[in-house]
Structure 1
Amino acid sequence: MWRHVFAYAMNPEVYLDADNIRSLLPKDLPEEVSCDLPLGERLGALRIRAEDLAARWRDLFDTLDAEREREAEAAILEQTAPLASAFGAALQGLSAPCVFEDPVNLRLMALLADDIGVGAPERSRFDRFRDICRAYEVTSVAGSIAQLSDTREIRDGMFRLPATIFAMSRRSDVFDCELIGLDLAWRHVGLLPVWGDLRLDGKRRRALDVSLATSIDLVQGQTANALALEIGEEIAGDRVRRARLCHGISIFAVLMEEMDALARAIVRSISDPRLAMAILVQDRAREARVYHSAFKLEGRPLSDWFAQSQDDPMPLVDALGRSRLIRPGQPERSQLINGLLRPDGAMFRIFSQADIAIIARWITSLAQEGERERAAETVLPKAVRLSPGRQPVAAGDLEIGARPGDIRTAYFLLQGRALAPRTRQFALDYCAFWLDLARRSVDRSDRSLPGDWRPGELREWLQTSHDAHGRAFEEARDQEFPSRESVIEQTVQLAPLTLIDGAWLQGFTDVSMASSRFGAPLFETYWDELGNGDWQINHPKIYRDVLAAMAVTLPPTGSRAFAEDRRIDDGSYRLPVYWLAIGKFPVTFRPEILGLNLAMELSGVGGSYRNAREFLKHHGFPTIFVDLHNTIDNVSSGHSAWAADAIDAYVQSSRDVVPVAESWARIRAGYESLAPLVDDPRELDFFARTSAGKPGRGAAPPGTIDTFHHHPLRETETAS
């Protein structure tokens, strides 16, 4: 079950109903006790419990010889790979346009950025974990995150904690405080007990210790744990949020201990043949029960034994040990191995060579008197019972969500991250409409990307475009300055766009993409737009400072009041809605996003930013916003260069699966989508131009829409 939840929740575009997620969470958590304690004491108790678990691991490793110790380390790495893939995942969905200016969310992003190794492709904590796996020759889990759920050697229960984290992260609008509490608990524990006895050098050990920073300087030089605790204390000042924070801490505590017990059972099985056989039997029990109804073992159909083994395999293991299929101490003469598993046997290829080695070792152990006596213990101890747990999850409702009937409602509705089914369909329709206009624009002007992609040529094209922008600026220098009123009006009309700067890249905060060769520069661009964790250089905040200098105050970006502000024209929301929509689909529209990103980062460099600076300076307004972009978007080492590098990396990495011409055509359309060429601006009106834009069933009037907005974490909540 849990591997399937993990695989499903890995999709950054998936919608998960909050009640379904709640049904997956552990029950009977000790929350009342937890929340009565000061946050530091609650975390201190968790740390003491983790130290106790670490002591158990040390005791277990003390019983292993050198060969078994190496096997144990390899088993730990293989089994904990899903957990390692969740480094940073609790925070991956917290950033959303409606909270782009929230200082607490910005500091949380600093923690996420550190976990994914921002600025260094393939240097996230999980990437470093994979390096460790390769060093131990554990190649089964050295691939991508998406491949882990298909690794059958990993026990289903080992997916529970990471699956829970990924699932909750898809609804950060609902579980924000719980996720922050969970992340805080993990950072307070630091290096998990299960990894404590791995023989690692300092750098690799640091990568697995989430209490410590890895790749960047955090806010004010803090450790990861100290920053997380500071944020937690700030949130815990509100009673309701404190309870939710404690809930997240408890979720982590319970699931960490469950995972730890399962991992220890697996390692114990290395030196305990009976336990190893029990684990193997339970792994195969569900499928095996289908095929063994005719065979009787001790008077019962073998299918019944397998049904029981899904929860407790030990009775079947011991019954097999007493059966005619086994000759204790003689695996080579036992029918199970030399008959059923032979090339002409009924169970040929059912078991791998590693599985057969486990069976042979167990049969050999049965010759030992102690093992024969212990076989009478037919109940698997609860501490190591390995049942994956199965429970039904209700199907989703495809009619959930609202479909906006006008552009202002669309802007308001798309401010979060999660998309309910009807809203998702609207976002897809809007993207399709906008990209259709963009495809018609390709090659209608000399601004389009080259007709073909060739390795290394995009950077040269970038320089040529930059030169053209520079010439255009020089040619326009003698033009008359626009009036003060005109500059203010233009700044106001650009607010819906600029206050969600980077929204097209929001999907690339996902840990599965943020450290990839093409994703790392996109995440770093997004990270820059939001100020690298520093509210003072947060781009939306700086833009509001410019507006304030013009005596203009606008409502919070994610509010209904902002979307309904009549100082802003309807047409000023059209491109922003496209940004908000396409940013929700980092997989579906990946090539288009790459093209759009290049267009956006290049659009003002060398030309329009310099013009804007002249206009602002002339009228005595601050120029910091355009100054900042003219430097960080530069074509040599800034965002424009990163955008080109991301495109090259994507095309190179996908060319064996998707024809280059197909990817490039989509990238070119994405590039044009920043400003599709139309004969009449009304052609950009989705709601007037398409039947999909007509209000219909599910289109909600203002004030009645159930949004999936995130909320600034500095506000206080009141208990209901």
Structure 2
Amino acid sequence: MFLLSIGQFPRTYLAELLGVNLGWHFSGLNAVGPILVRKGQHCHSSTKDDTCIQYWDRSKLGCELALDAAIKTLAERSNRDRDTFFFRICVGALIITNIWKEWASSADCRTSNCVDAIKTDMIRILCQKAPHAIGYHGNRLIDGAKIDSLLSSENFRPAEILERLANSEFIVPGKPEDSLFYTNLVRWGGPMHLVFSPTELETISAWILTLSSASETHETDAPEISCTDNNPSFDGSTDGMMHLKSEFVRRSKENFSKCSIREIYHYLLNIEQYPEILPYAEQFAYNRLSRSMAALNSHIRPIPSQHYCPEILEYWVSTQHREQVNAYRSLKGEPSITKEAFINSSVQLAPLILIDGAWLQGMLIQNCIHSEYGRILFQILYEETGEGDVTRHHANVYRELLHEMGIKLPAIETREFIQWTRLLDSSFEIPVFWLSVSCFPRHFMPEILGLNLAVELAGVGGPYMQARDTLRHFKLPTLFVDIHLAADNISQGHTAKSLLAIKLYMDQIAAREGPHNLDSTWRRIWSGVRSTLPQPSLPWLISNTISARLRGKKADELPRIFSF
């Protein structure tokens, strides 16, 4: 809980996070995961995960990187606040160390004096299995009572059943290897074969070991667990949560609805200080994506097929790439744009390019990064941000280009940046969309996948090749366009990875929800592909929605979190 909480505020708690990172690596916590996986492999049928071994082998590098990050960040602080910053780093390291000690102590207590804990685990297993076990036992008894009767909802008392089981002929206290419940009944050919998972069988074995004899069964009652309601009420707190959510939305609408696009950009960049902007951010993303969805069949980048087909998607990407490459014409003579106009257009891109990869920043959350497609998207983000090297960070490379053009930018997170008169309001439209959609990575995952493909595909071919020629003509560095032309390639680069991420995501949707949801998800993905294009007006969207309903066709609707 602590790690998830502090991770939401990387700028506010930067020093403490550096300390947590140091404590995590130097105390060996980074090795806990691989160790647990290795020790648990015999409990599962999954194949060996070599990435754990690789992670283990990189533990020394992790320590070096953690120390390097702390030292370099300290060096950047002014002399006045360096001591305070160092103290905060120490606090972070101390907190994670103490939390680990408390957890280890608790775990040790659980394993050395774990009768109550194991009994609770057994009761949970009973609760999970009971609804599905009724009717399979006939007249069989356990400690003098019919098993099916004990399992029925009106008689179900798991602690009592557990006690009866402990006193029955199926259990030899302290000897799981001699207990029928752990041997003959659950082995191949037994009536409960494959009823329990390997982990549950380990719990059963541990529970039998705690039973020294029927007369010495531990007397402490484990907490009774209600199993009749899988969705327990919150005694009225659900209404309270709805009220809080409604109030959160009201405040967001009140505080941000009248803000300029520049101000929204500033608030989203500094979202740690303005968390109440979230409902407005969802509404902003929803509005743009709804218009994109309504124009899926327009003449500009129309959806290539009404039904999802990976081969058609691959063909579209390949064709689009070839068209972009073929559109390139090498520069001969003077460019069609003056140097001043070229510099000005480069300045207008600053709000966008200085947050390069921002649409993927939500991939860091556990729900996303643990998926195959999520890891691919995170890898793209990691490469966009320089793979840990600030000199390779795409935004910093662009800063250097602007510096060579004689442009000195205000810091992007400051109000001076959004008040900079050289920037047009229109230069903030797409960046705000990127930042908005990134706030909801799970909610807008299909749209993010489509947006990611569109952005990465735009980085290859004619436009960037022509930009490189123009930069060379004006004797300006070409590194920014060079790295995009290389990294975004369609073979193994970001474009190829973006395509693979979509296919993996759609495979997961098909496996989890069945094929009937593929086409609706496909349309959402394509609305993301089109989302950076000029979008139809609100009156057009309303007219299109009404027209669709008059024709008896329900317009595609995006899901909502907040009712704005």
- After TM superposition, the structure 1 = structure 2 runs for residues 88-99 of structure 1, keeping only pairs within 5 Å, are none
Counterpart residue number, 1:306:
none
Distance 1:525 1:204, change over 3 A: closer
Distance 1:441 1:186, change over 3 A: same
Partner secondary structure for residue 512 of structure 1: helix
2:506 & 2:51 partners in 1: Cα distance?
Answer: 33
Shift of 1:534: 1.2
1:667 & 1:625 partners in 2: Cα distance?
Answer: 28
Counterpart residue number, 1:528:
383
Shift of 1:347: 4.0
CA deviations 1:119-172 (Å, max 9, x no partner) are xxxxxxxxxxxxxxxxxxxxxxxxxxxxxxxxxxxxxxxxxxxx2211221233
The amino acid that maps onto 1:225 is: C
Partner secondary structure for residue 309 of structure 2: coil
Shift of 1:424: 0.7
- After TM superposition, the structure 1 = structure 2 runs for residues 601-612 of structure 1, keeping only pairs within 5 Å, are 601-612=456-467
1:343 aligns with 2:148: yes
Counterpart residue number, 1:365:
213
Partner secondary structure for residue 673 of structure 1: coil
Shift of 1:233: 3.6
Structure 1 residues 633-642 or 276-285, which shifts more? 276-285
Counterpart residue number, 1:659:
517
Counterpart residue number, 2:188:
none
Distance 1:463 1:411, change over 3 A: same
Partner secondary structure for residue 316 of structure 2: helix
**Is the CA contact 1:430–1:581 (under 8 Å) kept in the aligned structure 2?**
yes
**Is the CA contact 1:193–1:260 (under 8 Å) kept in the aligned structure 2?**
no
1:650 aligns with 2:505: yes
**Is the CA contact 1:236–1:245 (under 8 Å) kept in the aligned structure 2?**
no
The amino acid that maps onto 2:21 is: D
Shift of 1:349: 5.7
Shift of 1:648: 0.9
CA deviations 1:653-696 (Å, max 9, x no partner) are 1124261110110011111101134589x99xxxxxxxxxxxxx
The amino acid that maps onto 2:291 is: L
Shift of 1:644: 0.9
Give the alignment's TM-score, normalised by structure 1: 0.55
Give the alignment's TM-score, normalised by structure 2: 0.69
Distance 1:266 1:633, change over 3 A: same
1:225 & 1:571 partners in 2: Cα distance?
Answer: 44
Distance 1:447 1:568, change over 3 A: same
Counterpart residue number, 1:629:
484
Partner secondary structure for residue 299 of structure 2: coil
Distance 1:172 1:342, change over 3 A: same
Counterpart residue number, 2:119:
280
Counterpart residue number, 1:43:
none
Structure 2 stretches of 5 or more lacking a match?
Answer: 42-47, 76-81, 128-140, 163-180, 182-200, 223-236, 542-564
1:432 & 1:194 partners in 2: Cα distance?
Answer: 38
2:12 to 174, 177, 185: 174
Shift of 1:453: 2.1
CA deviations 1:497-539 (Å, max 9, x no partner) are 1111111111112233225221122111111111111122211
Shift of 1:594: 0.7
Distance 1:629 1:349, change over 3 A: same
Shift of 1:411: 0.8
Counterpart residue number, 2:360:
505
1:225 & 1:543 partners in 2: Cα distance?
Answer: 31
Distance 1:513 1:278, change over 3 A: closer
Shift of 1:591: 0.5
CA deviations 1:452-501 (Å, max 9, x no partner) are 32133322221111111122223997995211111011001111111111
CA deviations 1:186-214 (Å, max 9, x no partner) are 2101256898797699x979937977527
Partner secondary structure for residue 443 of structure 2: coil
**Is the CA contact 1:180–1:245 (under 8 Å) kept in the aligned structure 2?**
yes
1:403 aligns with 2:256: yes
2:480 & 2:33 partners in 1: Cα distance?
Answer: 48
CA deviations 1:252-278 (Å, max 9, x no partner) are 122211211222233335xxxxx4246
Partner secondary structure for residue 595 of structure 1: helix
- After TM superposition, the structure 1 = structure 2 runs for residues 297-376 of structure 1, keeping only pairs within 5 Å, are 338-339=143-144, 342-345=147-150, 346-347=155-156, 361-365=209-213
Structure 1 residues 546-555 or 444-453, which shifts more? 444-453
Counterpart residue number, 1:494:
349
Counterpart residue number, 1:239:
83
Counterpart residue number, 1:676:
534
User: How many percent identity over aligned positions?
Assistant: 29
- After TM superposition, the structure 1 = structure 2 runs for residues 205-284 of structure 1, keeping only pairs within 5 Å, are 207=52, 212-213=57-58, 223-235=61-73, 238-269=82-113, 275-277=114-116, 279-280=118-119
2:34 & 2:507 partners in 1: Cα distance?
Answer: 36
The amino acid that maps onto 2:358 is: A
The amino acid that maps onto 1:495 is: A
1:619 aligns with 2:474: yes
Shift of 1:360: 5.5
1:531 & 1:617 partners in 2: Cα distance?
Answer: 24
**Is the CA contact 1:400–1:420 (under 8 Å) kept in the aligned structure 2?**
no
Shift of 1:446: 5.2
Distance 1:263 1:617, change over 3 A: same
Counterpart residue number, 2:427:
572
2:35 & 2:525 partners in 1: Cα distance?
Answer: 46
Distance 1:615 1:281, change over 3 A: closer
1:540 & 1:575 partners in 2: Cα distance?
Answer: 16
Counterpart residue number, 2:138:
none
1:595 aligns with 2:450: yes
Counterpart residue number, 1:563:
418
**Is the CA contact 1:437–1:676 (under 8 Å) kept in the aligned structure 2?**
no
Partner secondary structure for residue 298 of structure 2: coil
**Is the CA contact 2:12–2:272 (under 8 Å) kept in the aligned structure 1?**
no
Partner secondary structure for residue 474 of structure 1: coil
Shift of 1:239: 2.1
1:231 & 1:467 partners in 2: Cα distance?
Answer: 42
1:360 & 1:533 partners in 2: Cα distance?
Answer: 51
Shift of 1:235: 4.4
The amino acid that maps onto 1:250 is: L
Shift of 1:576: 0.8
The amino acid that maps onto 2:461 is: G
Distance 1:608 1:236, change over 3 A: closer
Partner secondary structure for residue 344 of structure 1: helix
1:435 aligns with 2:289: yes
Shift of 1:587: 0.8
CA deviations 1:66-88 (Å, max 9, x no partner) are xxxxxxxxxxxxxxxxxxxxxxx
The amino acid that maps onto 1:344 is: S
Shift of 1:449: 3.8
- After TM superposition, the structure 1 = structure 2 runs for residues 397-476 of structure 1, keeping only pairs within 5 Å, are 398=248, 402-403=255-256, 405-416=259-270, 418=272, 422-445=276-299, 447-451=301-305, 452-474=307-329
